[in-house]
Amino acid sequence: MFDLGLSLTAAFVDFSASIPFGAFNADSAFQTDTTSLIKWSHGKLGGNILQVELTAKDVGMCMEEAAFEYSSTINAYQARSVLADIIGSETGSLSGHQNKVARLNLSLAKRKAAAYSSEIALGGTKTLYSASINTIGNQQAYDLKTILSASGEVTGSQRIEIKQIFHFSPTAAYRFFDTTSAINYLHNQFKFESFTPETVFYLLPVWEDVLRAQMLETSHNVRRSNYSYDIVNNVLRVYPVPDSAVKLYFTYYRTQEDPFDDTNDPWVRGVSNLSNVPFGNIAYSQINSIGRQWIRRFAFALVKEILGQVRGKIKNIPIPNGELYLNADDLIAQAREEQTYLRDELKFMLEETLYQNLMAKEMEVAETLKSIWAKTPMMLYRG
**Rounded average pLDDT over 11-18:** 69
Higher-pLDDT residue of 65, 4 = 65
Quick check: is 368 in a domain? no
* Claim to verify: residue 169 and residue 300 sit in the same structural domain: no
- Considering the domain architecture, whether residues 125 and 83 belong to the same structural domain is answered as no
pLDDT for 116 equals 84
Task: Specify whether 291 is located in the same domain as 338.
Answer: yes
pLDDT for the residue 76:
94
Each residue's pLDDT tens digit, 202-220? 566 778 778 877 888 788 7
Domain check: are 235 and 314 in the same one?
no
Residues 251 and 190: their CA atoms lie apart, in Å, by: 23
Does 64 score more than 90 pLDDT?
yes
119 part of a folded domain: yes
Task: Please check whether residues 234 and 306 belong to one and the same domain.
Answer: no
Q: How many CA atoms lie within 13 A of 376 on its CB side?
A: 8
**Residue at 354 is within a domain:** no
Does 274 map to a domain?
no
Domain membership of residue 1 (yes or no) is: no
Residues 145 and 252 in one domain: yes
37 falls within a domain: yes
Q: What percent of the chain has pLDDT over 90?
A: 34
Runs of H (alpha helix) within the chain:
8-15, 28-44, 56-86, 107-119, 144-150, 182-189, 206-223, 289-313, 328-352, 355-374
224 or 33, which is more confident?
33
The per-residue b/e assignment along 141-172, b for 16 or more CB within 10 angstroms, e otherwise, is ebebbebbbeeebbeeeeebeebebebeeeeb
Distances (CA, A) of 158 to 148, 253, 337: 10, 10, 60
Residue 103 — pLDDT band, cuts 50, 70, 90? confident
* 227 shares its domain with 304: no
As a whole number, mean pLDDT of residues 323-331 equals: 80
Compute the average pLDDT of residues 81-103.
88
The domain in which residue 299 lies consists of 8-103+283-345
Pair (255, 339) in one structural domain? no
Q: How many domains does the chain have?
A: 2
List all residues 6 or more positions away from 100 whose beta carbon is below 8 Å from its beta carbon. none
Lowest-confidence pick of 68-77, 114-123, 182-191: 182-191
pLDDT tens-digit series, residues 168-188: 776 665 555 444 555 555 555
Angle in degrees, CA 248, 252, 258, rounded to 5: 160
| Stated pTM of the model | 0.71
Q: How many residues would you count in the chain?
A: 383
CA distance linking residue 332 with residue 192, whole number of Å: 88
231 and 124 in a single domain? The answer is yes
In this predicted structure, what is the pLDDT of residue 104? 84
Mean pLDDT confidence for 350-356: 92
From 219, 241, 267, give the residue that closes a domain: 267
Last residue of a domain, one of 209, 233, 267: 267
Q: With respect to residue 166, please indicate whether it lies within any of the assigned structural domains.
A: yes
| Higher-pLDDT residue of 183, 364 | 364
Q: What is the mean pLDDT of the chain?
A: 83
Q: Could you tell me if 71 and 182 lie in one domain? A: no
What is the structure's pLDDT at 6? 40
User: Band of the pLDDT at 7, cuts 50, 70, 90?
Assistant: very low
Q: Evaluate whether residue 260 is within a structural domain.
A: yes
Query: Same domain, yes or no, for 247 and 155?
Result: yes
pLDDT class of 294 with cuts at 50, 70, 90: very high
Residues 148 and 254 in one domain: yes
